[in-house]
A and B are shown apart, each in its own frame.
Chain A
Amino acid sequence: MTTLEAPATPAFTPPRTRLDGLWAVLAPRAHLLRVLAGVLTIIGAYLPWATFVLNDGPYPEKSTLQFFVAPLGVTGFRLHLLVFGIAMVAVALLRLPAAGRIIRGLGWGTVAVALINGLYLVVQGGGLGTITVSDGKAAFGTIVALVGGLVAVAGGTAGGLGTKPELTWRPAWWIEWLILLVVFAVVLFLVAGVLTSGGQGGVVNPYAGVVFLSVLCALGGAFAALSPSGLLTWVGAVSERHRVFSVVVLLLVALLLPLTSAGTEYWMTVAANIGVYAATAIGLNIVVGLAGLLDLGYVAFLGIGAFVAANLSGAAASKIGIELPFPLVMIISAVVAGLFGAVVGSPTLRVRGDYLAIVTLAFGEIFVRSAQNNIGGLTGGANAIPNIPAVEAFGQSFAAPVTIGALKLPSGVLYYVLIVLLVAAVMLIFANLKNSRLGRAWIAIREDEDAARAMGIRTGPVKILAFMIGATLAGLAGAFFAHKTAVVAYDSFRFLESVTLLASVILGGMGTIPGAVLGAAILFVLPEKLREFSDYRLLIFGLALVVIMRFRPQGLIPDKHRRAELAPDAEDDT
């Protein structure tokens, strides 16, 4: 039988690197290399990066994370590099445990930052002269930083990676709470900072896209450096000990986002869209991540929910011209989508594995095609169903700006709050299901369907239930989607959307709750932040998927249970 996971076959792991010999040669000088790398990176940060001023204004100096001031005379990505360089020197001199790993992480971050900014300068400047010598001016920042990064990778690897220390510090509960609060506050500011990094792009701010990419690379490097220090694992363990507290604080943090720099109408709209897809992705996670049934037509359920809601919204173009209160509409949408989920799930009784995947793809295509042909007059066909009224509660339209006392919030905030609560509810459902008898049955089916059946699990109904519950959650999100977007058109629910949803589940880490949300956030924020690269953005998006899968094939936040069962030492393979 085929499960979604093929076990790691030792025969197929690539042979160990051909560079082993090089590492052996470098090993005795590794310590020196590490310090040298740090120094090079610092020098790179201070050298000029471009030989002339680009058409659109001075480039390297403009980049900055908004909440950083310039403590040492450099800003933006040069500040990041400076911090990386200092960290490399410090880690090397202090001989921390796992120093090799940390320095290697910092090195990769440096390489990425240097490459992104260097490439951008080369392309925008129209040639390699931009980052080397041109018109009698020299600018070797890119190259020195790049070399520094590579030396760090070499030095870090050569001197032995070291082992990740296990932190076992257990302070009093209130200290742990305090630490968690601080961590989550940092997360909040990081999220806001990343979202607004580079500023809102446009003609006055043409460097927004590349600054964002650079910040992302720097964050990746910082993460790669922090992870071997054991701190992240420790924080994870602490939050696990105070699960309820963490969840509440995280929810509060999410609700506080509108008060940060990201609290603009634009980001609230993007965040609401992310929320829709995150909720849908969690539903899909039940089907794919828990029950192990690959679904390639899942966006159809979002579409069904949206069309049901559109028809019950009182929009002039809808066939059923009745208007029901929004909570009721949500429930009806969810139920209808759930029923369709059961229909789509019914072939699972006979069809398995990739054959099932194509059946779900078929249902998805049938849905889009029927919606395009305005089946039964319910979908508006090519004209879609426009002008769906905004949700209203207590006389306040959700699409309008809100004023609470002195606090003025942009329009879209109420939708944001609503979707955060919705996603939280969906997460709660998912978490409870995962740990329930039903969830264990799904996981058992995922691992080995025949064995599960032998253990007395009625696999048929359980699998259909997975589809049904997943579809219900998508339908719920669909009702929100209809009102937020104000128009429901068949072309919002194409195969590519299903694929993006599936990608967010796998990218985030199958079977985990934060994974689906993180995946959806990345896949929908990335194209938005890459708007400045308009012509190249889908190209970059495609390549980014390939690169992320190359380095984190198990997803960004892998399921602990799964991590145990899959290639236990895949960790070193970077």
Chain B
Amino acid sequence: MLSTLLSQIANGLVLGSLIALIALGYTMVYGIVQLINFAHGEIFMVGAYGALATFTYLLPTAIQQRWYLALPLLLIGGALVSVLVAVAMERFAYRPLRGAPRLAPLITALGVSVALQEAVRVFYPNATAALPFPDVFIPGTLIVPIGDGVPIRYSGMLIFAVSLALAFTLNAFVERSRMGRAMRATAQDPDTARLMGIDPDRVIVLTFILGGALAGVGGVLYGNYLNNINIDMGFQNGIFAFTAAVLGGIGSIRGAIVGGLAIGLVKALGGQYLPGGTAYDYVWIFVVLIVVLVFRPQGFFGETERVRA
């Protein structure tokens, strides 16, 4: 049925754009320091809790009720918390390990991931179970009159619009701006970049700030879309985002966007049309991933692996 197909495509695009937003952080960090930052998913989760804390403890009722005031403040609050955690993580966990064997930071990242999740669970009030998240955007659903109707939630559209806007802004930033050029230079060859007067430490911190902010915004939008958050949300979506980054070609910003959307669509459409139904929708994501990588080992937009010194 056409309306079902369109609904599933809409679902896929919403989830996919969100995954793309997280994947950008993965892909940027990887591009610069060749680190699979497994804790990045938790940055997304922390952002959602930061926004919830902002809403619950900081905003007066008058602002809470006006979405055009509350939403930007929540986004700022969530992004701020995410950025702080991301920068602290870089400073205290990853920076001392520069130059260490390459898998050591991977374990650190996993340790940070477990610790962040547990820290939120233990220290955030009542975070042992899922917490309700306020609906700060226009509530309700737009039913597009095609066939039986295609329901699309306004908060879902928000995710799609904001994610893509941010992704393209980021792309422009990296392509055009001076700092963006410094980032690309560091990604290509840190030693030469240093010789050219670029401070790799600053570039790396900037990368974590950008990735953290995007993840934080993603966390807030996700909470607003689903109206609940839990401490597991980062892990699950983090794995999807990592997969998306690899599928698109790790290190490539365009790749992360395309990879994220592809995963969202595969999950939605695979659950609908492929054998096994929704019980196997994850399986299809990973099957597609394996098939794509076997035929295109560097992902959609990845460069063929170049020799690193």
Is there a direct interface between A and B, measured as CB atoms under 8 Å apart in the complex? yes
Name A residues whose Cβ lies closer than 8 Å to a Cβ of B: 1-2, 4-14, 288, 294, 347, 350-355, 357-359, 361-363, 365-366, 369-370, 373, 495, 499, 502-503, 506-507, 510, 535-536, 538-539, 541-546, 549-550, 553-555, 562, 566-567, 570
A11-B105 in contact (CB<8A): no
A539-B119 in contact (CB<8A): yes
Contact partners of B213 in chain A: CB under 8 A: none
Contact partners of B119 in chain A: CB under 8 A: 539
B104-A546 in contact (CB<8A): no
A11-B239 in contact (CB<8A): no
B98-A355 in contact (CB<8A): no
Q: Which of B36, B104, B308 contacts A553 (CB 8 A)?
A: B104
Cα A541 to Cα B115 in complex, Å, equals 7
B308-A373 in contact (CB<8A): no
1/0 per residue B185-196: CB within 8 Å of A?
Answer: 000001100100
12 example contacts (A-B, Cβ-Cβ < 8 A) are as follows A2-B34, A6-B102, A11-B190, A13-B99, A353-B305, A359-B289, A362-B290, A499-B38, A543-B111, A546-B93, A549-B105, A553-B101
Q: Which of B95, B114, B279, B309 contacts A14 (CB 8 A)?
A: B95
Question: Beyond A12-B98, A550-B96, is A347–B190 a contact (Cβ under 8 Å)?
Answer: no
Contact partners of A354 in chain B: CB under 8 A: 30, 36, 246, 250
1/0 per residue B73-100: CB within 8 Å of A?
Answer: 0000000000000000000010111111
Instruction: Tell me which of B163-171, B220-228, B291-299 binds A.
Output: B291-299
- Chain A CB within 8 A of B110 CB: yes
| Given A5-B101, A6-B34, A495-B239, 4 extra CB contacts under 8 A | A9-B191, A355-B246, A542-B113, A554-B101
Determine the residue in chain A with the shortest Cβ distance to B191: A11
Q: Which of B243, B250, B294, B308 contacts A350 (CB 8 A)?
A: B294
Tell me the chain B residues, 22-78 only, with Cβ under 8 Å from chain A: 30, 34, 36, 38
Minimum Cβ distance to chain B for residue A354 (Å): 6
A4-B293 in contact (CB<8A): no
Contact partners of A502 in chain B: CB under 8 A: 103, 106-107
Cα A197 to Cα B68 in complex, Å, equals 59
- Chain A CB within 8 A of B122 CB: yes
Name B residues whose Cβ lies closer than 8 Å to a Cβ of A: 30, 34, 36, 38, 93, 95-108, 110-119, 122, 190-191, 194, 200, 239, 242-243, 246, 250, 276, 279-280, 282-283, 286-287, 289-290, 293-295, 297-299, 302, 305, 307-309
Contact partners of A13 in chain B: CB under 8 A: 98-99
Contact partners of A506 in chain B: CB under 8 A: 103-104, 106-107
Q: Which of A2, A369, A570 has the most CB of B within 10 A?
A: A369
Q: Which of A347, A353, A553 contacts B290 (CB 8 A)?
A: A347
Cα A129 to Cα B268 in complex, Å, equals 58
Q: Which of A351, A365, A503, A546 contacts B294 (CB 8 A)?
A: A351
Contact partners of A11 in chain B: CB under 8 A: 190-191, 194, 200
Contact partners of B190 in chain A: CB under 8 A: 9, 11-12
Contact partners of B103 in chain A: CB under 8 A: 4-5, 288, 294, 502, 506, 510
Cα A347 to Cα B291 in complex, Å, equals 9
Q: Which of B105, B282, B290 contacts A363 (CB 8 A)?
A: B290
B111-A8 in contact (CB<8A): no
Cα A569 to Cα B36 in complex, Å, equals 26
Minimum Cβ distance to chain B for residue A569 (Å): 12
B299-A355 in contact (CB<8A): yes
Q: Which of A355, A369, A543 has the most CB of B within 10 A?
A: A355
Cα A212 to Cα B115 in complex, Å, equals 21
Q: Which of A363, A373, A543, A554 contacts B100 (CB 8 A)?
A: A554
Cα A354 to Cα B295 in complex, Å, equals 16
Determine the residue in chain B with the shortest Cβ distance to A499: B110
Cα A370 to Cα B287 in complex, Å, equals 12
Q: Which of A288, A535, A546, A567 contacts B122 (CB 8 A)?
A: A535
B111-A9 in contact (CB<8A): no
Question: Beyond A5-B101, A12-B98, is A347–B293 a contact (Cβ under 8 Å)?
Answer: yes
Q: Which of B97, B113, B279, B293 contacts A550 (CB 8 A)?
A: B97
Cα A359 to Cα B289 in complex, Å, equals 7
Cα A502 to Cα B246 in complex, Å, equals 20
B286-A14 in contact (CB<8A): no
Minimum Cβ distance to chain A for residue B19 (Å): 14
A366-B111 in contact (CB<8A): no
Contact partners of B113 in chain A: CB under 8 A: 542
B98-A14 in contact (CB<8A): yes
Pairs A-B, 8 closest by C-beta atoms: A545-B111, A542-B115, A553-B100, A542-B114, A362-B286, A553-B104, A539-B118, A12-B98
Q: Which of A358, A566, A567 contacts B293 (CB 8 A)?
A: A358
B101-A352 in contact (CB<8A): no
Contact partners of A554 in chain B: CB under 8 A: 100-101, 104
Determine the residue in chain A with the shortest Cβ distance to B38: A499
Contact partners of B282 in chain A: CB under 8 A: 365-366, 369
A5-B102 in contact (CB<8A): yes
Contact partners of B100 in chain A: CB under 8 A: 8, 549, 553-554, 567, 570
Contact partners of B283 in chain A: CB under 8 A: 365-366, 369-370
A507-B111 in contact (CB<8A): no
Contact partners of A535 in chain B: CB under 8 A: 122
Contact partners of A361 in chain B: CB under 8 A: 239, 242-243, 286
Minimum Cβ distance to chain B for residue A411 (Å): 33
Question: Beyond A11-B190, A354-B250, A369-B282, is A503–B107 a contact (Cβ under 8 Å)?
Answer: yes
Contact partners of B293 in chain A: CB under 8 A: 347, 350-351, 355, 358-359
Contact partners of B104 in chain A: CB under 8 A: 506, 549, 553-554
Cα A347 to Cα B115 in complex, Å, equals 33
Cα A545 to Cα B93 in complex, Å, equals 10
Cα A294 to Cα B110 in complex, Å, equals 15
Contact partners of B280 in chain A: CB under 8 A: 369-370, 373
Minimum Cβ distance to chain B for residue A539 (Å): 4
Minimum Cβ distance to chain B for residue A349 (Å): 8
Cα A255 to Cα B118 in complex, Å, equals 37
Q: Which of A347, A357, A539 contacts B36 (CB 8 A)?
A: A357
Minimum Cβ distance to chain B for residue A382 (Å): 11
Minimum Cβ distance to chain A for residue B279 (Å): 5
Contact partners of B309 in chain A: CB under 8 A: 7, 9
Cα A358 to Cα B305 in complex, Å, equals 16
Contact partners of A555 in chain B: CB under 8 A: 101
Determine the residue in chain A with the shortest Cβ distance to B96: A550
Contact partners of A359 in chain B: CB under 8 A: 289-290, 293
Cα A73 to Cα B113 in complex, Å, equals 44
Cα A350 to Cα B246 in complex, Å, equals 15
Minimum Cβ distance to chain A for residue B280 (Å): 7
Cα A354 to Cα B200 in complex, Å, equals 23
